[in-house]
């Protein structure tokens, strides 16, 4: 009989909650966040370890990146080749990493955001510093090895990194519900900070900052909020303001130019192009008239962006304008989050170094425990060989008299002489007294005859003395924490001497950029809007010269000032603002800009009923009429607001606006329903309300009837509507009262 199925009943929400938590923790711990001990994410750790295993050392030839990526993916990281290659590329880029870990050969991208060549074209190998500081001692049981994803290989749980990589190279990663963002720091300063902590474990953040001044970005730049760094390094969170470095150069003709030689770290990549576009925009929008030309002359030698200025330009003021209006001054958000003891934790600079130092003591303990065990094994064998040299004649007699290896070994270890032929009884008695260890006996049996030469015996004695010194040294290191600390600090000082470099980023307190903006010259302009809702701006002389063409080609022409704003009223009751300055200004035949590109107006979801300038609306009354026959008048001044989108009127459910129009003098309104019922009323019958009001009823509608049109008739104007083949002149309709039923036509 088949075993009955076991059904487990549980809440669906509980399963979803547990599954999501499992997924989130997997992303946090196994993908997105670095480990505080080695400062590496799993993909980085696995890539470096795989290169180590493949033997792609700093002193060996380069190997194809595709080989490295494929091997890493097949053995340790089954998450797609792109993530592995991207990690490899970033670890080789000296403009992203304070200390590049991989030596790339070929096109590994540029500071301007160009991507690396495909992995089949590029080659890579480890840097010397990576080999010495990140991967050394892996053979000395210093870290735990865990099974890989399919349990066919072993990989290190963490790399035995001997420098605080989390601070030196920084980290960026987005997990689930959290993200990490740690700036890179100066190698030499961080080493000094670690040594200072080891000498004084009670060191505080302020004292630590005497050694680690602040971030040291590979792109240089200037940190301008030095006073905020203490709070950032205490809490692990905050914002660092970084500026590019600008030099003012004199050129022929008495002119000057700005040369940007260093950029803020957040600007690397596509943001350099965005910065250039922002400078173009400053010129196009007339925010500055001082810029004549801008060119990006950057190369492998470094950043060089040249901004040529007109004669007599105020270079200092323009610098401040660039800091204020472009990404030449940018913010680096700090969130020093890393996995510590298996869980994510936000840490200040001292706790990060504390974790690192504790890890160094653990590495040193395991390393010297392994080395001590090996030296003790060597001591045992060496003592056996030395003892064997003293009785070598007896051992040779035992070997010649034994039938097999087992018999000889038993005699050497336990003194059993049965079955062995000796030359004399004394030899047999002496053999019975032998008590070598198993390891010693094996070494004696494997010893070659040339080892009996006098010089070889002396070398054996010298090795034994060296082994005894090593045992004493390793025992002292393991038994005395102070001695271990000295060993670690000595290594760190050697690394600093070999790999430290000068600081690139300046740390300072700089006053906020203040721009003396010249008031914009106000001029009268004409805004030409065509039937496709494209708008462009021309000055009045240009309009007057092309008046006929403008009137023929434009759906609407609005006259206002160049500093004014346009209000777009839609059938959804919204009002969107457009700055006139955001529309292209220039020649009559220049191309316009779609209004929905420079505002929140969405032509696919709403219809534009009225476009008018805010200045022209001031002092007027605007009438609103809806499909459900709700009417109101609003003062035009109410629409002079700062928000880009605001509710121009309140609508009932399933209602929409049919008309928005400024009122003049003795205007009348004619409402037409779907059942061809008309009602003409005087505009003075409509009460004035706030823009947030619904309004009042204009015409009583039958069930399922609604308004299809609302006409605003100016004095002396007429409009004709065709109903059932008959033309109805609207200005001949009788003027009735508001909230009546109207006349059927």
For 140-145, what is the mean pLDDT?
94
pLDDT at 2 over 60: no
598 contacts: CB under 8 Å, gap ≥ 6 = 578, 579, 582, 583
- The CA distance from 253 to 312, in Å, is 11
> In which residue ranges of the chain is CATH 2.120.10.90 found?
524-744
Per-position DSSP letters for 197-266, written without gaps between them: HHH-TT--HHHHTTT--S---TT--EE-BGGGHHHHHHHSEEEEEEE-EEEEEE-GGG-EEEEEEE--GG
Bridge partners of 173, per DSSP, are 180
| Total residue length of the chain | 745
pLDDT at 521 over 80: no
For 479-498, what is the mean pLDDT?
95
Q: What is the pLDDT of residues 26-79, one digit of tens each?
A: 666 667 899 999 999 999 999 999 999 999 999 999 999 999 999 999 999 998
Q: What is the pLDDT of residues 394-403, one digit of tens each?
A: 888 888 888 8
> In which residue ranges of the chain is CATH 1.10.268.10 found?
355-498
What percent of the chain has a predicted confidence (pLDDT) above 90? Answer: 59
Q: What CA–CA distances, in Å, run from 661 to 239, 264, 634, 649?
A: 49, 50, 10, 13
Q: Is 236 left (phi over 0), alpha (psi -120 to 50) or beta?
A: left
Q: What is the pLDDT of residues 577-592, one digit of tens each?
A: 998 988 888 788 888 8
Tokens of 70: 């494929």
What pLDDT is recorded for position 3? 54
Q: Which CATH superfamily is domain 355-498 in?
A: Topoisomerase, domain 3 (1.10.268.10)
Q: What is the pLDDT of residues 288-302, one digit of tens each?
A: 888 889 999 988 888
Q: Could you give the residue numbers annotated as active site?
A: 121
pLDDT at 1 over 50: no
> In which residue ranges of the chain is CATH 3.90.199.10 found?
40-160
Query: Which of 196-200, 256-260, 719-723 is the least confident region?
Result: 719-723
Helix (H, G, I), strand (E, B) or coil at 477: helix
CATH class of 524-744: mainly beta
| Mean of pLDDT over the chain | 90
Q: What is the pLDDT of residues 534-550, one digit of tens each?
A: 899 999 999 999 989 98
Q: What is the pLDDT of residues 651-709, one digit of tens each?
A: 998 899 999 999 987 889 999 999 999 999 999 999 999 989 999 999 999 888 999 99
CATH class of 40-160: alpha beta
CATH for 245-327 is 3.30.1360.40
Sheet with 630-635, edge to edge strand ranges: 657-662, 621-626, 630-635, 696-697
Confidence band, pLDDT 50/70/90 cuts, at residue 433: confident
What percent of the chain has a predicted confidence (pLDDT) above 70? Answer: 97
pTM passes above 0.85: no
For 314-339, what is the mean pLDDT?
92
Question: φ and ψ at 368, to 5 degrees?
Answer: -75, -20
Q: What is the pLDDT of residues 472-488, one digit of tens each?
A: 999 999 999 999 999 99
């Amino acid at each position: 009989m088949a075993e009955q199925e076991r059904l487990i009943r549980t809440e669906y929400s509980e399963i979803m909650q547990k599954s999501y938590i499992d997924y989130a923790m997997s992303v946090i711990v196994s993908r997105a966040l670095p480990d505080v001990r080695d400062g590496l994410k799993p993909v980085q750790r696995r890539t470096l370890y795989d290169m180590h295993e493949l033997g792609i050392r700093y002193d060996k030839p380069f190997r194809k990146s595709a080989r490295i990526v494929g091997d890493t993916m097949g053995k340790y990281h089954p998450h797609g080749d792109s993530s592995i290659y991207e990690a490899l590329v970033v670890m080789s880029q000296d403009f992203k990493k304070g200390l590049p870990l991989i030596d790339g050969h070929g096109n590994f991208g540029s500071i301007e955001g160009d991507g690396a060549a495909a992995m089949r074209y590029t080659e890579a190998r480890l840097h010397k510093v990576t080999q010495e500081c990140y991967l050394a001692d892996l053979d000395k049981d210093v870290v735990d090895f865990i099974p890989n994803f399919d349990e066919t290989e072993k990989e290190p749980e963490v790399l035995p990194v001997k420098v605080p990589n989390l601070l030196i190279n920084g980290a960026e990663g987005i997990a689930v519900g959290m993200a990490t963002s740690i700036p890179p720091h100066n190698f030499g300063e961080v080493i000094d900070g670690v040594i200072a902590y080891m000498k004084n474990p009670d060191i505080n953040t302020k004292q630590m900052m005497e050694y680690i001044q602040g971030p040291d970005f590979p792109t240089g730049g200037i940190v301008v909020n030095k006073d905020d760094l203490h709070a950032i390094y205490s809490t692990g969170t905050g914002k660092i303001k970084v500026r590019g470095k600008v030099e003012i150069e004199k050129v022929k003709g008495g002119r000057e130019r700005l040369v940007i030689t260093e950029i803020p770290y957040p600007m690397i990549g596509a943001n350099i192009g965005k910065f250039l576009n922002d400078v173009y925009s400053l010129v196009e929008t007339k925010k500055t008239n001082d810029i004549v030309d801008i060119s990006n002359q950057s190369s492998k030698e470094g950043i060089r962006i040249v901004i040529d200025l007109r004669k007599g330009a105020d270079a200092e003021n323009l610098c401040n304008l660039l800091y204020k209006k472009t990404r030449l001054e940018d913010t680096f958000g700090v969130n020093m989050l890393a996995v510590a003891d298996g869980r994510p934790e936000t840490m200040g600079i001292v706790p990060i170094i504390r974790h690192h130092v504790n890890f160094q003591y653990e590495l040193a303990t395991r390393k010297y425990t392994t080395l001590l065990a090996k030296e003790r094994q060597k001591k045992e064998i060496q003592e056996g060989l030395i003892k064997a040299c003293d009785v070598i004649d007896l051992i040779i007699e035992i070997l010649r008299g034994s039938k097999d290896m087992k018999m000889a070994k038993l005699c050497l270890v336990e003194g059993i002489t049965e079955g062995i032929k000796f030359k004399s009884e004394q030899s047999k008695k002496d053999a019975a007294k032998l008590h070598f260890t198993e390891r010693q006996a094996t070494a004696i049996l494997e010893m070659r005859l040339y080892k009996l030469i006098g010089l070889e015996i002396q070398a054996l004695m010298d090795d034994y003395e060296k082994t005894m010194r090593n045992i004493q040294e390793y025992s002292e290191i393991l038994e005395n924490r102070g001695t271990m600390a000295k060993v670690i600090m000595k290594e760190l000082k050697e690394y600093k001497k070999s790999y430290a470099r000068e600081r690139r980023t300046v740390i300072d307190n700089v006053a906020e950029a203040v721009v003396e903006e010249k008031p914009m010259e106000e001029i009268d302009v004409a805004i030409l809007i065509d039937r496709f809702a494209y708008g462009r701006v021309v000055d009045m002389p240009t309009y007057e010269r092309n008046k006929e063409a403008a009137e023929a080609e434009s759906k609407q022409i609005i006259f206002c000032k160049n500093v004014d704003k346009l209000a777009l009223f839609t059938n959804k009751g919204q009002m969107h603002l457009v700055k006139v300055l955001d529309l292209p200004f220039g020649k009559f035949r220049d191309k316009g800009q779609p209004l929905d590109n420079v505002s929140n107006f969405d032509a696919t979801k709403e219809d534009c009923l009225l476009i008018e300038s805010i200045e022209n609306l001031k002092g007027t009354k605007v009438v609103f009429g809806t499909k459900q026959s709700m009417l109101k008048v609003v003062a035009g001044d109410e629409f002079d607001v700062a928000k880009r989108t605001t509710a121009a009127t309140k609508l009932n459910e399933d209602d929409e606006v049919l008309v928005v129009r400024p009122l003049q003098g003795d205007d009348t309104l004619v409402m037409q329903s779907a059942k061809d019922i008309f009602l003409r009323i005087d505009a003075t019958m409509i009460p004035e309300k706030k823009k947030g009001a619904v309004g009042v009823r204009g015409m009583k509608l039958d069930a399922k009837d609604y308004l299809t049109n609302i006409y605003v008739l100016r004095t002396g104007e007429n409009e004709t509507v065709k109903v059932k083949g008959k033309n109805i002149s609207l200005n001949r309709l009788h003027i009735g009262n508001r909230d009546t039923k109207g006349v059927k036509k």
